[in-house]
Amino acid sequence: MKTELELFRATRTNTIALLKGLTLEQINKIPDGFTGNIAWHIGHMVSTHKGLVYQLNSVPGGLEKDFVVKYKKGSVPESPIDQAEFEFITTELLNQVDELEADLDKDGFFGVNIPYSTSYNFDLNSFEEGLKFSNLHQALHLGYILAMKRSL
């Protein structure tokens, strides 16, 4: 799990670094050729990590239902986010790493896995598979953010 946690931290740290110097207007802009914006991708990263790693392993996600619905798979930005929501998301990007690290140290914290078939055509059948897939998912969205930033 040490490598998975290090990869998770690196991806989240790189995501935060990409956001440096961007205005809220840039973060909310949907670039030509895209259906989303940077704001949606970082919100989706926060929301989906909780689903893949926590909820699929019988632990409540801890996010407001409205937030999860706003950033779930298949959704699109409906309106710009404000500074408060941006700060919440960016804080969660890093807090979730520390939270996962602490939770991994708790024996029996993660419960029974709920099998899940991803839209990536990959089945998740264990906590370990969920965490590894979450890292892949995070990196995928980091790539989208990088492409969007270059197109701004």
Distance CA 122, CA 135 (A): 14
Distance CA 2, CA 88 (A): 26
> 2-151 maps to which CATH number?
1.20.120.450
CA atoms within 13 A on the CB side of 34: 24
Note the pLDDT tens digit of each residue in 127-148: 999 999 999 999 999 999 999 9
Distance CA 116, CA 126 (A): 9
pLDDT of residue 121: 96
Query: What value does the mean pLDDT take over residues 98-102?
Result: 97
pLDDT of residue 61: 85
Distance CA 111, CA 139 (A): 26
Does residue 3 surpass a pLDDT of 90? yes
Q: Per-residue confidence at 123, pLDDT binned at 50, 70, 90?
A: very high
Alpha-carbon distance values, 67 to 117, 128, 152 (Å): 22, 25, 26
Q: Are 13 and 141 in contact (CB under 8 A)?
A: no
pLDDT of residue 86: 98
CA atoms within 13 A on the CB side of 4: 16
Residue spans per domain, the chain: 2-151
Distance CA 11, CA 139 (A): 6
What's the pTM? 0.96
Note the pLDDT tens digit of each residue in 105-121: 999 999 999 999 999 99
Mean pLDDT of the chain: 96
Distance CA 148, CA 55 (A): 30
In the structure encoding, which two tokens stand for residue 93, read together?
A: 């990007």
In the structure encoding, which two tokens stand for residue 75, read together?
A: 């959704």
Query: What value does the mean pLDDT take over residues 23-52?
Result: 97
